[in-house]
Structure 1
Protein backbone atom coordinates (compact mmCIF):
# COMPACT_ATOMS: atom_id res chain seq x y z
CA UNK A 1 0.00 0.00 0.00
CA UNK A 2 1.44 3.34 -1.04
CA UNK A 3 1.84 6.20 1.41
CA UNK A 4 -0.79 8.96 0.95
CA UNK A 5 0.25 12.03 -1.00
CA UNK A 6 1.22 15.01 1.21
CA UNK A 7 -0.96 18.09 1.07
CA UNK A 8 1.88 20.25 -0.26
CA UNK A 9 1.97 20.83 -3.99
CA UNK A 10 4.39 18.22 -5.32
CA UNK A 11 4.87 20.23 -8.51
CA UNK A 12 6.71 22.91 -6.58
CA UNK A 13 10.47 22.53 -6.94
CA UNK A 14 12.44 21.70 -3.80
CA UNK A 15 15.13 24.18 -2.79
CA UNK A 16 18.72 23.15 -3.36
CA UNK A 17 20.60 21.67 -0.44
CA UNK A 18 21.24 18.52 1.56
CA UNK A 19 18.23 16.79 3.15
CA UNK A 20 18.91 14.32 6.00
CA UNK A 21 15.98 11.89 5.81
CA UNK A 22 15.19 9.34 8.53
CA UNK A 23 13.84 6.03 7.27
CA UNK A 24 12.08 3.10 9.05
CA UNK A 25 14.11 0.78 11.29
CA UNK A 26 12.02 -2.25 10.38
CA UNK A 27 8.38 -1.56 9.67
CA UNK A 28 8.13 0.27 6.34
CA UNK A 29 4.90 1.86 7.52
CA UNK A 30 6.93 4.11 9.82
CA UNK A 31 8.12 6.31 6.94
CA UNK A 32 6.67 9.81 7.38
CA UNK A 33 4.59 11.63 4.81
CA UNK A 34 7.13 14.45 4.77
CA UNK A 35 10.01 12.01 4.19
CA UNK A 36 8.24 10.50 1.17
CA UNK A 37 7.59 13.98 -0.20
CA UNK A 38 11.25 14.96 0.15
CA UNK A 39 12.57 11.71 -1.34
CA UNK A 40 10.22 12.07 -4.30
CA UNK A 41 11.23 15.66 -5.04
CA UNK A 42 14.99 15.33 -4.56
CA UNK A 43 17.06 14.77 -7.68
CA UNK A 44 19.34 12.14 -6.14
CA UNK A 45 19.28 10.00 -2.98
CA UNK A 46 22.65 9.15 -1.40
CA UNK A 47 22.32 5.81 0.39
CA UNK A 48 24.44 3.06 1.98
CA UNK A 49 23.01 0.20 -0.08
CA UNK A 50 20.89 0.79 -3.18
CA UNK A 51 19.22 -2.63 -2.76
CA UNK A 52 17.98 -1.80 0.74
CA UNK A 53 16.87 1.72 -0.10
CA UNK A 54 15.41 0.50 -3.38
CA UNK A 55 12.90 -1.68 -1.50
CA UNK A 56 11.76 1.32 0.55
CA UNK A 57 11.43 3.54 -2.52
CA UNK A 58 9.40 0.89 -4.33
CA UNK A 59 7.09 0.61 -1.30
CA UNK A 60 6.58 4.39 -1.36
CA UNK A 61 6.24 4.71 -5.12
CA UNK A 62 9.38 6.85 -5.42
CA UNK A 63 11.56 6.63 -8.53
CA UNK A 64 14.31 9.12 -7.64
CA UNK A 65 17.81 8.14 -8.75
CA UNK A 66 20.02 6.60 -6.05
CA UNK A 67 23.75 6.95 -5.54
CA UNK A 68 25.81 4.85 -3.14
CA UNK A 69 27.42 6.73 -0.24
CA UNK A 70 28.77 4.75 2.71
CA UNK A 71 31.70 4.60 5.17
CA UNK A 72 34.04 3.73 2.30
CA UNK A 73 33.06 6.67 0.08
CA UNK A 74 35.99 8.59 -1.30
CA UNK A 75 36.67 12.30 -0.98
CA UNK A 76 35.86 12.56 -4.67
CA UNK A 77 32.40 11.01 -4.19
CA UNK A 78 31.68 13.34 -1.28
CA UNK A 79 32.80 16.38 -3.28
CA UNK A 80 30.53 15.34 -6.15
CA UNK A 81 27.49 15.12 -3.86
CA UNK A 82 28.31 18.50 -2.32
CA UNK A 83 28.65 20.03 -5.77
CA UNK A 84 25.19 18.72 -6.70
CA UNK A 85 23.69 20.00 -3.43
CA UNK A 86 24.83 23.54 -4.28
CA UNK A 87 22.30 23.76 -7.09
CA UNK A 88 19.94 20.80 -6.61
CA UNK A 89 18.12 19.01 -3.76
CA UNK A 90 20.06 15.95 -2.57
CA UNK A 91 18.78 13.50 0.06
CA UNK A 92 20.92 11.43 2.43
CA UNK A 93 19.48 8.25 3.97
CA UNK A 94 20.93 5.29 5.86
CA UNK A 95 19.86 1.66 5.55
CA UNK A 96 17.57 2.15 8.55
CA UNK A 97 16.74 4.91 11.00
CA UNK A 98 18.19 8.38 11.34
CA UNK A 99 21.36 9.09 9.31
CA UNK A 100 24.53 9.97 11.26
CA UNK A 101 23.42 7.94 14.33
CA UNK A 102 26.07 5.19 14.04
CA UNK A 103 25.80 5.60 10.27
CA UNK A 104 27.88 7.40 7.63
CA UNK A 105 27.23 11.02 6.78
CA UNK A 106 29.08 13.04 9.41
CA UNK A 107 31.75 14.32 7.01
CA UNK A 108 29.21 15.09 4.31
CA UNK A 109 27.07 17.22 6.64
CA UNK A 110 30.09 18.93 8.18
CA UNK A 111 31.55 19.90 4.80
CA UNK A 112 28.14 20.99 3.52
CA UNK A 113 27.77 23.39 6.45
CA UNK A 114 31.33 24.68 5.99
CA UNK A 115 30.55 25.32 2.32
CA UNK A 116 27.39 27.25 3.15
CA UNK A 117 25.11 24.60 1.65
CA UNK A 118 21.65 24.42 3.21
CA UNK A 119 21.18 21.33 5.44
CA UNK A 120 17.68 20.21 6.49
CA UNK A 121 16.82 17.34 8.84
CA UNK A 122 13.67 15.28 8.23
CA UNK A 123 13.16 13.45 11.57
CA UNK A 124 11.77 9.97 12.00
CA UNK A 125 12.58 6.57 13.45
CA UNK A 126 15.69 5.99 15.62
CA UNK A 127 16.45 2.58 17.17
CA UNK A 128 18.20 4.08 20.21
CA UNK A 129 15.16 6.16 21.15
CA UNK A 130 12.71 3.36 20.39
CA UNK A 131 14.69 1.05 22.69
CA UNK A 132 14.77 3.66 25.44
CA UNK A 133 11.00 4.07 25.33
CA UNK A 134 10.48 0.30 25.74
CA UNK A 135 13.09 -0.45 28.41
CA UNK A 136 11.48 1.23 31.41
CA UNK A 137 14.89 2.52 32.55
CA UNK A 138 15.42 6.11 33.77
CA UNK A 139 15.20 8.32 30.69
CA UNK A 140 15.60 11.86 32.04
CA UNK A 141 19.31 11.52 31.16
CA UNK A 142 20.82 9.06 28.70
CA UNK A 143 24.06 8.62 26.78
CA UNK A 144 24.23 6.99 23.37
CA UNK A 145 27.61 5.30 22.97
CA UNK A 146 27.28 3.50 19.63
CA UNK A 147 28.69 -0.01 19.20
CA UNK A 148 30.88 -1.55 21.89
CA UNK A 149 34.34 -2.61 20.64
CA UNK A 150 34.77 -6.19 19.46
CA UNK A 151 37.98 -6.93 21.38
CA UNK A 152 37.62 -7.78 25.06
CA UNK A 153 40.14 -5.29 26.46
CA UNK A 154 38.83 -2.40 24.38
CA UNK A 155 35.26 -3.27 25.36
CA UNK A 156 36.16 -3.30 29.07
CA UNK A 157 38.04 -0.01 28.69
CA UNK A 158 34.96 1.66 27.22
CA UNK A 159 32.68 0.26 29.92
CA UNK A 160 35.08 1.38 32.65
CA UNK A 161 35.21 4.86 31.12
CA UNK A 162 31.41 5.10 31.15
CA UNK A 163 30.89 3.44 34.52
CA UNK A 164 30.51 6.65 36.50
CA UNK A 165 28.15 8.39 34.07
CA UNK A 166 24.92 9.16 35.92
CA UNK A 167 22.66 8.29 33.00
CA UNK A 168 21.17 5.31 31.21
CA UNK A 169 23.71 4.02 28.69
CA UNK A 170 22.56 3.04 25.21
CA UNK A 171 24.61 0.81 22.90
CA UNK A 172 23.99 -0.85 19.55
CA UNK A 173 24.94 -4.51 19.40
CA UNK A 174 24.76 -7.54 17.12
CA UNK A 175 23.39 -10.99 17.89
CA UNK A 176 26.72 -12.87 17.77
CA UNK A 177 28.37 -10.39 20.18
CA UNK A 178 25.50 -9.81 22.61
CA UNK A 179 26.33 -12.55 25.12
CA UNK A 180 29.97 -11.44 25.45
CA UNK A 181 28.93 -7.84 26.01
CA UNK A 182 26.38 -8.88 28.63
CA UNK A 183 28.99 -10.95 30.51
CA UNK A 184 31.40 -8.00 30.48
CA UNK A 185 28.67 -5.77 31.91
CA UNK A 186 27.79 -8.42 34.51
CA UNK A 187 31.38 -8.51 35.73
CA UNK A 188 31.63 -4.74 36.09
CA UNK A 189 28.09 -3.83 37.16
CA UNK A 190 26.39 -6.99 38.50
CA UNK A 191 23.45 -5.17 40.09
CA UNK A 192 22.55 -2.65 37.41
CA UNK A 193 19.33 -3.19 35.51
CA UNK A 194 19.88 -4.01 31.85
CA UNK A 195 17.52 -4.16 28.88
CA UNK A 196 17.89 -5.86 25.51
CA UNK A 197 15.56 -4.50 22.82
CA UNK A 198 15.65 -6.21 19.45
CA UNK A 199 13.68 -6.57 16.22
CA UNK A 200 12.21 -3.15 16.98
CA UNK A 201 8.99 -2.31 15.07
CA UNK A 202 9.00 -5.79 13.48
CA UNK A 203 6.69 -8.77 14.01
CA UNK A 204 8.91 -10.38 16.68
CA UNK A 205 9.80 -7.22 18.60
CA UNK A 206 11.19 -8.02 22.04
CA UNK A 207 12.40 -6.11 25.07
CA UNK A 208 13.83 -8.28 27.85
CA UNK A 209 15.03 -6.75 31.13
CA UNK A 210 16.97 -8.00 34.16
CA UNK A 211 20.53 -8.23 35.47
CA UNK A 212 23.24 -8.70 32.86
CA UNK A 213 24.18 -12.18 34.09
CA UNK A 214 20.58 -13.38 33.83
CA UNK A 215 20.26 -12.01 30.32
CA UNK A 216 23.61 -13.51 29.26
CA UNK A 217 22.44 -16.93 30.39
CA UNK A 218 19.12 -16.49 28.58
CA UNK A 219 20.73 -15.51 25.28
CA UNK A 220 23.30 -18.31 25.60
CA UNK A 221 20.31 -20.66 25.28
CA UNK A 222 18.29 -18.52 22.85
CA UNK A 223 20.53 -17.15 20.10
CA UNK A 224 19.39 -13.60 19.35
CA UNK A 225 18.83 -12.40 15.80
CA UNK A 226 18.38 -9.00 14.27
CA UNK A 227 19.60 -5.55 15.24
CA UNK A 228 19.88 -4.98 19.00
CA UNK A 229 19.72 -2.00 21.34
CA UNK A 230 21.49 -2.73 24.65
CA UNK A 231 20.67 -0.43 27.57
CA UNK A 232 22.24 -0.22 31.03
CA UNK A 233 20.63 1.64 33.93
CA UNK A 234 22.60 4.40 35.72
CA UNK A 235 24.68 3.79 38.87
CA UNK A 236 21.97 5.27 41.09
CA UNK A 237 19.62 2.63 39.76
CA UNK A 238 21.73 -0.13 41.33
CA UNK A 239 21.22 -0.66 45.06
CA UNK A 240 24.17 -1.65 47.25
CA UNK A 241 24.74 -5.40 47.49
CA UNK A 242 25.61 -6.43 51.04
CA UNK A 243 27.84 -4.72 53.57
CA UNK A 244 30.51 -2.62 51.79
CA UNK A 245 33.02 -3.25 54.60
CA UNK A 246 32.55 -7.00 54.29
CA UNK A 247 32.81 -6.84 50.52
CA UNK A 248 36.00 -4.81 50.82
CA UNK A 249 37.60 -7.29 53.23
CA UNK A 250 36.69 -10.18 50.97
CA UNK A 251 38.14 -8.45 47.90
CA UNK A 252 41.36 -7.57 49.76
CA UNK A 253 42.03 -11.25 50.35
CA UNK A 254 42.48 -11.69 46.61
CA UNK A 255 43.74 -8.38 45.22
CA UNK A 256 45.40 -5.03 45.87
CA UNK A 257 43.74 -2.14 47.70
CA UNK A 258 43.26 -0.25 44.45
CA UNK A 259 41.60 -3.13 42.62
CA UNK A 260 39.50 -4.06 45.66
CA UNK A 261 38.21 -0.49 45.92
CA UNK A 262 37.35 -0.47 42.24
CA UNK A 263 35.50 -3.79 42.45
CA UNK A 264 33.42 -2.76 45.46
CA UNK A 265 32.71 0.67 43.95
CA UNK A 266 31.28 -0.96 40.84
CA UNK A 267 29.19 -3.37 42.89
CA UNK A 268 27.76 -0.81 45.32
CA UNK A 269 27.91 2.56 43.59
CA UNK A 270 30.00 3.97 46.45
CA UNK A 271 32.80 6.50 45.95
CA UNK A 272 35.97 4.72 44.86
CA UNK A 273 38.36 7.11 46.63
CA UNK A 274 36.56 6.63 49.95
CA UNK A 275 36.71 2.87 49.53
CA UNK A 276 40.38 3.01 48.58
CA UNK A 277 41.25 4.97 51.72
CA UNK A 278 39.44 2.39 53.82
CA UNK A 279 41.10 -0.47 51.91
CA UNK A 280 44.55 0.95 52.67
CA UNK A 281 43.63 1.11 56.37
CA UNK A 282 42.47 -2.50 56.36
CA UNK A 283 45.58 -3.64 54.53
CA UNK A 284 47.82 -2.03 57.16
CA UNK A 285 46.03 -3.69 60.08
Structure 2
Protein backbone atom coordinates (compact mmCIF):
# COMPACT_ATOMS: atom_id res chain seq x y z
CA UNK A 1 0.00 0.00 0.00
CA UNK A 2 1.36 3.39 -0.98
CA UNK A 3 0.77 6.50 1.08
CA UNK A 4 -1.03 9.76 0.37
CA UNK A 5 0.27 13.24 -0.29
CA UNK A 6 -1.95 15.92 1.26
CA UNK A 7 -1.56 19.55 0.15
CA UNK A 8 -2.94 21.70 2.94
CA UNK A 9 -3.99 25.30 2.52
CA UNK A 10 -3.05 27.55 5.42
CA UNK A 11 -4.37 31.00 6.43
CA UNK A 12 -3.06 33.95 4.42
CA UNK A 13 -3.53 36.22 7.44
CA UNK A 14 -6.31 35.63 9.93
CA UNK A 15 -5.66 32.36 11.74
CA UNK A 16 -9.40 31.78 12.20
CA UNK A 17 -9.63 31.24 8.44
CA UNK A 18 -7.84 27.89 8.81
CA UNK A 19 -9.92 25.11 7.22
CA UNK A 20 -11.49 22.76 9.82
CA UNK A 21 -9.69 19.71 8.42
CA UNK A 22 -6.26 21.28 8.80
CA UNK A 23 -5.92 20.49 12.53
CA UNK A 24 -6.96 16.87 12.01
CA UNK A 25 -4.49 16.39 9.15
CA UNK A 26 -1.65 17.96 11.13
CA UNK A 27 -2.30 15.57 13.99
CA UNK A 28 -2.62 12.47 11.80
CA UNK A 29 0.25 12.94 9.33
CA UNK A 30 3.24 10.59 9.45
CA UNK A 31 5.39 13.34 7.97
CA UNK A 32 4.73 17.09 7.94
CA UNK A 33 6.80 18.94 5.34
CA UNK A 34 6.75 22.67 6.13
CA UNK A 35 8.16 25.65 4.27
CA UNK A 36 9.10 27.17 7.63
CA UNK A 37 9.08 24.91 10.69
CA UNK A 38 8.94 27.90 13.05
CA UNK A 39 5.77 29.16 11.40
CA UNK A 40 4.40 25.63 11.54
CA UNK A 41 4.99 25.62 15.29
CA UNK A 42 3.10 28.90 15.68
CA UNK A 43 0.27 27.52 13.52
CA UNK A 44 -0.12 24.33 15.55
CA UNK A 45 -0.07 26.31 18.80
CA UNK A 46 -2.76 28.64 17.51
CA UNK A 47 -4.90 25.68 16.44
CA UNK A 48 -4.27 23.80 19.66
CA UNK A 49 -2.99 20.71 17.89
CA UNK A 50 0.03 18.47 18.50
CA UNK A 51 1.89 16.92 15.57
CA UNK A 52 2.87 13.31 16.21
CA UNK A 53 4.64 12.69 12.92
CA UNK A 54 8.13 13.65 11.81
CA UNK A 55 8.49 17.34 10.88
CA UNK A 56 10.90 18.32 8.10
CA UNK A 57 11.63 21.57 6.32
CA UNK A 58 10.67 21.85 2.65
CA UNK A 59 11.49 25.20 1.10
CA UNK A 60 12.93 26.62 -2.10
CA UNK A 61 16.52 25.98 -1.04
CA UNK A 62 16.12 22.24 -0.33
CA UNK A 63 13.03 21.35 -2.39
CA UNK A 64 14.94 19.54 -5.15
CA UNK A 65 17.10 17.56 -2.70
CA UNK A 66 14.31 16.65 -0.26
CA UNK A 67 11.70 15.60 -2.84
CA UNK A 68 13.16 12.08 -3.41
CA UNK A 69 13.20 11.46 0.36
CA UNK A 70 9.54 12.42 0.70
CA UNK A 71 8.60 10.47 -2.42
CA UNK A 72 10.24 7.37 -0.93
CA UNK A 73 8.25 7.84 2.27
CA UNK A 74 5.06 7.99 0.21
CA UNK A 75 5.98 4.81 -1.63
CA UNK A 76 6.51 3.12 1.73
CA UNK A 77 2.98 4.07 2.83
CA UNK A 78 3.40 7.33 4.73
CA UNK A 79 0.78 10.06 4.83
CA UNK A 80 2.76 13.20 4.01
CA UNK A 81 1.22 16.60 4.73
CA UNK A 82 2.70 19.57 2.88
CA UNK A 83 2.14 23.09 4.21
CA UNK A 84 3.64 26.42 3.17
CA UNK A 85 3.75 29.75 4.98
CA UNK A 86 0.39 30.87 3.57
CA UNK A 87 -2.08 29.66 0.98
CA UNK A 88 -1.94 26.52 -1.14
CA UNK A 89 1.33 24.62 -1.64
CA UNK A 90 2.80 24.58 -5.17
CA UNK A 91 1.05 27.84 -6.19
CA UNK A 92 4.08 30.19 -6.22
CA UNK A 93 5.27 28.12 -3.27
CA UNK A 94 7.19 24.85 -2.84
CA UNK A 95 5.26 21.73 -3.79
CA UNK A 96 5.21 21.26 -7.54
CA UNK A 97 8.20 18.92 -7.59
CA UNK A 98 6.72 16.69 -4.92
CA UNK A 99 3.30 16.57 -6.59
CA UNK A 100 4.94 15.64 -9.90
CA UNK A 101 7.04 12.93 -8.21
CA UNK A 102 3.98 11.49 -6.47
CA UNK A 103 1.92 11.46 -9.66
CA UNK A 104 4.76 9.78 -11.54
CA UNK A 105 4.80 6.99 -8.93
CA UNK A 106 1.04 6.53 -8.98
CA UNK A 107 0.60 7.90 -5.44
CA UNK A 108 -2.68 9.50 -4.41
CA UNK A 109 -2.56 13.29 -4.10
CA UNK A 110 -5.34 15.15 -2.34
CA UNK A 111 -5.84 18.58 -0.78
CA UNK A 112 -7.30 20.41 2.16
CA UNK A 113 -8.67 23.53 0.45
CA UNK A 114 -7.92 26.77 2.19
CA UNK A 115 -7.67 30.54 1.80
CA UNK A 116 -6.23 31.85 -1.47
CA UNK A 117 -4.64 35.26 -1.94
CA UNK A 118 -5.29 34.98 -5.69
CA UNK A 119 -9.03 34.42 -5.42
CA UNK A 120 -9.46 36.81 -2.48
CA UNK A 121 -7.73 39.65 -4.31
CA UNK A 122 -9.61 38.90 -7.51
CA UNK A 123 -12.96 39.02 -5.70
CA UNK A 124 -12.10 42.30 -3.92
CA UNK A 125 -10.61 44.04 -6.96
CA UNK A 126 -13.86 45.16 -8.57
CA UNK A 127 -12.49 43.98 -11.92
CA UNK A 128 -14.04 41.30 -14.18
CA UNK A 129 -13.75 37.84 -12.61
CA UNK A 130 -15.38 35.62 -15.23
CA UNK A 131 -12.02 34.87 -16.86
CA UNK A 132 -8.58 35.41 -15.32
CA UNK A 133 -5.02 34.11 -15.40
CA UNK A 134 -2.47 33.94 -12.60
CA UNK A 135 1.02 35.11 -13.56
CA UNK A 136 2.81 34.67 -10.23
CA UNK A 137 5.88 36.86 -9.65
CA UNK A 138 7.35 38.92 -12.47
CA UNK A 139 11.13 38.70 -13.10
CA UNK A 140 13.26 40.93 -10.89
CA UNK A 141 15.42 42.33 -13.72
CA UNK A 142 13.86 45.33 -15.47
CA UNK A 143 14.43 44.09 -19.02
CA UNK A 144 13.02 40.62 -18.32
CA UNK A 145 10.06 42.17 -16.50
CA UNK A 146 9.19 44.37 -19.48
CA UNK A 147 9.53 41.41 -21.84
CA UNK A 148 7.17 39.28 -19.75
CA UNK A 149 4.62 42.08 -19.62
CA UNK A 150 4.75 42.51 -23.39
CA UNK A 151 3.73 38.86 -23.71
CA UNK A 152 0.42 39.61 -21.98
CA UNK A 153 -0.16 43.13 -23.29
CA UNK A 154 -3.05 41.89 -25.44
CA UNK A 155 -4.41 39.36 -22.92
CA UNK A 156 -8.17 39.90 -22.54
CA UNK A 157 -8.47 38.05 -19.24
CA UNK A 158 -7.92 39.75 -15.87
CA UNK A 159 -4.31 39.30 -14.70
CA UNK A 160 -3.23 38.44 -11.15
CA UNK A 161 0.33 38.86 -9.84
CA UNK A 162 2.24 38.51 -6.58
CA UNK A 163 4.90 41.11 -5.78
CA UNK A 164 7.33 42.02 -3.03
CA UNK A 165 6.61 45.43 -1.44
CA UNK A 166 10.06 46.86 -2.24
CA UNK A 167 9.56 46.15 -5.96
CA UNK A 168 5.94 47.27 -6.19
CA UNK A 169 6.59 50.79 -7.50
CA UNK A 170 8.92 49.53 -10.26
CA UNK A 171 6.44 46.80 -11.23
CA UNK A 172 3.46 49.17 -11.41
CA UNK A 173 5.50 51.68 -13.42
CA UNK A 174 6.47 48.91 -15.87
CA UNK A 175 2.85 47.81 -16.11
CA UNK A 176 1.75 51.37 -16.86
CA UNK A 177 4.41 51.61 -19.58
CA UNK A 178 3.56 48.32 -21.29
CA UNK A 179 -0.11 47.70 -20.54
CA UNK A 180 -1.26 51.32 -20.59
CA UNK A 181 -1.25 54.12 -18.04
CA UNK A 182 -5.06 54.14 -17.86
CA UNK A 183 -5.47 50.35 -17.49
CA UNK A 184 -7.48 49.72 -14.31
CA UNK A 185 -5.89 47.73 -11.51
CA UNK A 186 -6.09 46.99 -7.80
CA UNK A 187 -3.27 46.54 -5.31
CA UNK A 188 -4.38 44.28 -2.46
CA UNK A 189 -2.21 44.55 0.64
CA UNK A 190 -2.19 42.47 3.85
CA UNK A 191 -5.32 40.52 2.91
CA UNK A 192 -7.38 39.33 5.93
CA UNK A 193 -4.91 40.99 8.31
CA UNK A 194 -5.38 43.97 10.62
CA UNK A 195 -4.13 46.53 8.11
CA UNK A 196 -5.84 45.09 5.02
CA UNK A 197 -6.02 47.63 2.20
CA UNK A 198 -7.26 47.53 -1.40
CA UNK A 199 -6.08 50.43 -3.53
CA UNK A 200 -7.89 50.74 -6.88
CA UNK A 201 -7.26 53.02 -9.85
CA UNK A 202 -5.40 53.43 -13.16
CA UNK A 203 -1.91 51.95 -13.25
CA UNK A 204 -0.25 55.37 -13.50
CA UNK A 205 -1.97 56.52 -10.28
CA UNK A 206 -1.14 53.32 -8.45
CA UNK A 207 2.51 53.61 -9.54
CA UNK A 208 2.68 57.15 -8.12
CA UNK A 209 1.06 55.96 -4.87
CA UNK A 210 3.49 53.03 -4.52
CA UNK A 211 6.50 55.31 -5.08
CA UNK A 212 5.92 56.66 -1.56
CA UNK A 213 6.58 53.20 -0.11
CA UNK A 214 4.26 50.28 0.61
CA UNK A 215 4.63 47.48 3.15
CA UNK A 216 3.13 44.02 3.58
CA UNK A 217 2.10 41.07 1.41
CA UNK A 218 1.05 42.29 -2.04
CA UNK A 219 -1.28 40.90 -4.72
CA UNK A 220 -1.89 42.92 -7.90
CA UNK A 221 -4.98 42.51 -10.07
CA UNK A 222 -4.94 44.12 -13.53
CA UNK A 223 -7.80 44.58 -15.97
CA UNK A 224 -7.49 42.63 -19.20
CA UNK A 225 -6.87 44.32 -22.55
CA UNK A 226 -9.95 45.83 -24.19
CA UNK A 227 -11.46 43.96 -27.12
CA UNK A 228 -10.17 45.49 -30.35
CA UNK A 229 -12.70 47.07 -32.68
CA UNK A 230 -12.57 45.46 -36.18
CA UNK A 231 -10.44 47.61 -38.43
CA UNK A 232 -8.68 49.43 -35.56
CA UNK A 233 -5.47 47.39 -35.82
CA UNK A 234 -3.07 48.16 -38.65
CA UNK A 235 -1.19 45.34 -40.46
CA UNK A 236 2.02 45.97 -38.51
CA UNK A 237 0.20 45.51 -35.20
CA UNK A 238 -1.49 42.33 -36.44
CA UNK A 239 1.89 40.91 -37.48
CA UNK A 240 3.38 41.89 -34.12
CA UNK A 241 0.65 40.04 -32.22
CA UNK A 242 1.21 36.93 -34.30
CA UNK A 243 4.97 37.16 -33.65
CA UNK A 244 4.38 37.42 -29.88
CA UNK A 245 2.26 34.27 -29.92
CA UNK A 246 4.83 32.42 -32.04
CA UNK A 247 7.61 33.39 -29.65
CA UNK A 248 5.50 31.91 -26.85
CA UNK A 249 5.40 28.55 -28.66
CA UNK A 250 2.26 28.66 -30.79
CA UNK A 251 2.36 27.42 -34.37
CA UNK A 252 1.92 30.21 -36.92
CA UNK A 253 -1.40 28.84 -38.18
CA UNK A 254 -2.89 28.79 -34.68
CA UNK A 255 -1.39 32.21 -33.88
CA UNK A 256 -2.95 33.75 -36.98
CA UNK A 257 -6.33 32.21 -36.17
CA UNK A 258 -6.19 33.51 -32.58
CA UNK A 259 -5.22 37.05 -33.61
CA UNK A 260 -7.93 37.07 -36.27
CA UNK A 261 -10.52 36.04 -33.70
CA UNK A 262 -9.33 38.71 -31.26
CA UNK A 263 -9.43 41.43 -33.92
CA UNK A 264 -12.69 40.28 -35.50
CA UNK A 265 -11.01 39.96 -38.89
CA UNK A 266 -10.78 37.23 -41.53
CA UNK A 267 -7.75 34.96 -41.07
CA UNK A 268 -6.64 35.82 -44.62
CA UNK A 269 -6.23 39.48 -43.64
CA UNK A 270 -3.99 38.60 -40.72
CA UNK A 271 -2.03 36.14 -42.87
CA UNK A 272 -1.44 38.88 -45.47
CA UNK A 273 -0.23 41.22 -42.71
CA UNK A 274 2.30 38.60 -41.53
CA UNK A 275 3.56 38.03 -45.09
CA UNK A 276 3.85 41.79 -45.67
CA UNK A 277 5.82 42.25 -42.46
CA UNK A 278 8.17 39.40 -43.38
CA UNK A 279 8.66 40.81 -46.88
CA UNK A 280 9.38 44.29 -45.52
CA UNK A 281 11.90 42.89 -43.07
CA UNK A 282 13.77 40.89 -45.71
CA UNK A 283 13.80 43.89 -48.07
CA UNK A 284 15.38 46.19 -45.49
CA UNK A 285 18.99 46.90 -46.48
CA UNK A 286 21.61 45.43 -44.19
CA UNK A 287 23.67 47.74 -42.01
CA UNK A 288 27.19 48.25 -43.48
CA UNK A 289 29.94 46.47 -41.60
CA UNK A 290 32.19 48.58 -39.41
CA UNK A 291 35.05 49.98 -41.43
CA UNK A 292 33.35 49.26 -44.77
CA UNK A 293 33.05 52.06 -47.35
CA UNK A 294 30.25 54.40 -46.35
CA UNK A 295 30.20 53.20 -42.72
1:187 to 171, 174, 177: 177
Structure 1's unaligned 5+ residue stretches are: 1-14, 249-256, 263-269, 281-285
1:75 Cα offset (Å): 4.8
Structure 2's unaligned 5+ residue stretches are: 241-261, 264-269, 281-295
Q: Is residue 134 of structure 1 aligned with residue 124 of structure 2?
A: yes
- Paired residue for 2:86? 96
Aligned residues: 241
* Contact 2:63-2:94 at 8 Å conserved across structures: no
- Paired residue for 1:85? 74
Structure 1 segments of 4 or more deviating over 3 A?
273-277
* Contact 2:133-2:157 at 8 Å conserved across structures: yes
Give the TM-score normalised by the residue count of structure 2. Answer: 0.75
Of the structure 1 ranges 51-60 and 64-73, higher mean CA displacement relative to structure 2 is found in 64-73
1:30 to 10, 13, 17: 17
* Contact 1:193-1:237 at 8 Å conserved across structures: no
Post-superposition Cα deviations, 1:188-244, rounded to whole Å, max 9, x if no partner, equal: 2122101100100001101111011101111222x11111001110112899xxxx8
2:38 to 40, 51, 57: 51
- Paired residue for 1:73? 62
Q: Is residue 214 of structure 1 aligned with residue 205 of structure 2?
A: yes
Q: How many Å separate the matches in 1 of 2:91 and 2:198?
A: 21
The 5 Å alignment of 1:130-209 reads 130-188=120-178, 189-209=180-200
1:118 Cα offset (Å): 1.4
Q: Secondary structure at the match of 1:236?
A: coil
1:83 Cα offset (Å): 2.0
* Contact 2:156-2:227 at 8 Å conserved across structures: no
1:77 Cα offset (Å): 2.1
2:7 to 12, 17, 20: 20
- Paired residue for 2:50? 63
Give the TM-score normalised by the residue count of structure 1. Answer: 0.77
* Contact 2:63-2:97 at 8 Å conserved across structures: no
Q: Secondary structure at the match of 1:203?
A: coil
Q: Secondary structure at the match of 1:156?
A: helix
Q: How many Å separate the matches in 2 of 1:217 and 1:182?
A: 9
Q: Secondary structure at the match of 1:235?
A: coil
* Contact 1:194-1:233 at 8 Å conserved across structures: yes
Post-superposition Cα deviations, 1:166-189, rounded to whole Å, max 9, x if no partner, equal: 100000001110001111111121
- Paired residue for 1:12? none
Q: How many Å separate the matches in 1 of 2:48 and 2:15?
A: 12
* Contact 2:134-2:161 at 8 Å conserved across structures: yes
Q: How many Å separate the matches in 2 of 1:80 and 1:57?
A: 24
Q: How many Å separate the matches in 1 of 2:228 and 2:122?
A: 18
Post-superposition Cα deviations, 1:26-63, rounded to whole Å, max 9, x if no partner, equal: 11111011111111111221011111111101111222
- Paired residue for 1:113? 103
> Aligned-pair RMSD on alpha carbons?
2.8
Q: How many Å separate the matches in 2 of 1:229 and 1:74?
A: 24
Q: Secondary structure at the match of 2:103?
A: helix
Q: Secondary structure at the match of 2:211?
A: helix
